[in-house]
Amino acid sequence: MQLYEYTAHELRSLLRSGEVSAAETARALLERIAGTDPQLNAYITVLGDAALEQAGEADRMLKAGDGGALCGVPVGIKDNICIRGVRTTCASRMLENFFPPYDANAIELLRAQGSVFLGKCNMDEFAMGSSTETSYFGTVRNPHDLSRVPGGSSGGSAAAVAAGSAVVAIGSDTGGSIRQPASLCGVVGMKPTYGMVSRYGLIAFASSLDQIGPLARSVRDCAMVLDAIVKGDSRDTTSIMDAQDGFEARLNIDMKGKRVGLPREYFAQGVDEEVRDAVLEAAKTFESMGAVCEECSLPLAEYALVAYYLVSSAEASSNLARYDGVRYGYRAHGAKDHEEMFVRSRSEGFGREVKRRIMLGAYVLSAGYYDAYYKKAQQVRTLIMRDYAALFNKYDFLLTPASPTTAWKEGARIDDPLRMYAADMCTVPVNIAGLPALVLPCGRGEGGLPIGMQIIGPARSDALVLGAGYAYEQAAGGGALRPVDVGGGQG
């Protein structure tokens, strides 16, 4: 095996035993990026020398017996998460030359572990998209089929993990932006309970929905990353201050007697038959372990997508108001007055999808429409949360598709916003309710394209969700689905 093919927990053993060094591991991953990224475009910025310097420090930590479980493990970072002194663009012209003066909380914690940052992963602009086609720096391609999208908005992170150009990656999930690309790229992705990971240093899209989480090749690797980045943070007022880690240590759970709900709304019209069949087959695997699976109902799920796009767009219009050409970010030159400078800076600095959502958000927050749209969406949100709570009185966790389809052809939906938004129908209800959810592969569809399933648990049941995924992975012989040859080797 090549060094880029190992999982994080396998690398941990090799690094701690001294069989390999962090420096040679980092070099292998950087070479892998050089070999694959001309085809994939998974990275906006590759750190190169800085990564090798970090790897040297990781080797010193390993030799001294210091560092955490991820010491020396190469990590890709989504480009909306701040790293001090490293260009952080949100895949937008608006922040093309932004260099943060501070680290995000998740980055601080990974640094303390001794992790090696390979670079900043490509994404949909300001995390607004489901295909990573809205990036100012170009489209990311799916390692399983280069003519298809990787999902979004963390498409670069998912593609890098799938192709072996990152061992693990960090993404953000506002409406499925970790889980949907994990499904389309055949890797494992986790959206923790809202507030479990600090949002300090995550450039905001929709603050009541955003959450940082891992993408990896196995459930154990996801647990390792969460153990590193889950910690209360007073700089984020929504942070869960008494959040408990130890996820890897709690992976082994007994499925016997566990009650698993299959909400019929997640298997209804709009979900491809091959996806539905693969997830129902996964339910049989849970039953073989002693779990009880049965159909249930989440009546208001059909309204989640509409509520999500109203709430998230409203919050985006507010969060992105700061990019006005005055303080930082892109500024249009040659304007005759301040008003023209504001208008041109925002018109030229933002892409079409971001402007579409800013306009929608401004509209639903405007006088005369606030009660009819934004307030109503928040009321629907409360009702959806109650629906989930009622189900979790009866079921330990829910099992659903992660994406209604497998990866689609590049360009097939980019000019059809409503069809693109429908790609999030399986994931957005989880963000609306602030719940933890794990996506992992459960089969392949036509053309060998990955299919992912989603495990959803009650708030703060992250350990249970990971344990259920781990049990399935062990029983089904799962883990990430390796793509066809990309850049001269399997990912």
Given the residues 78, 120, 191, 258, select the one marked as catalytic. 78
375 noted as active-site residue: no
Written as one letter, the residue type at 116 is V
CB atoms within 10 A of CB 364: 21
Nearest one of 444, 449, 440 to 474, comparing CA atoms = 440
Given the residues 21, 130, 131, 153, select the one marked as catalytic. 153
Written as one letter, the residue type at 40 is L
Given the residues 165, 177, 218, 317, select the one marked as catalytic. 177
What's the alpha-carbon Rg for the chain, to the nearest Å? 21
Nearest one of 454, 446, 402 to 423, comparing CA atoms = 402
For residue 34, give the 3-state DSSP assignment: helix
d(Cα 81, Cα 107) in Å, to the nearest integer?
A: 8
- For the chain, the straight-line distance linking the first and the last C-alpha, in angstroms and rounded, comes to 11
78 noted as active-site residue: yes
For residue 64, give the 3-state DSSP assignment: coil
User: In which region does residue 367 sit, left (phi positive, over 0), alpha (psi from -120 to 50) or beta (all else)?
Assistant: beta
177 noted as active-site residue: yes
Q: What is the DSSP secondary-structure string of 105-145? A: HHHHHHHHHT-EEEEEEP-SGGG--SSS-S-TT----BTTB
Nearest one of 139, 166, 168 to 155, comparing CA atoms = 139
d(Cα 399, Cα 394) in Å, to the nearest integer?
A: 14
User: Exposure pattern of 113-127 as b/e (b: 16+ CB <10 Å)?
Assistant: bbbbbbbbbbbbbbb
Q: Note whether 188 and 215 are within 8 A (CB).
A: yes
CA 347 to chain centre: 28
DSSP-derived pairing of the beta strands 259-263 and 168-172: unpaired
Residues belonging to the active site: 78, 153, 177
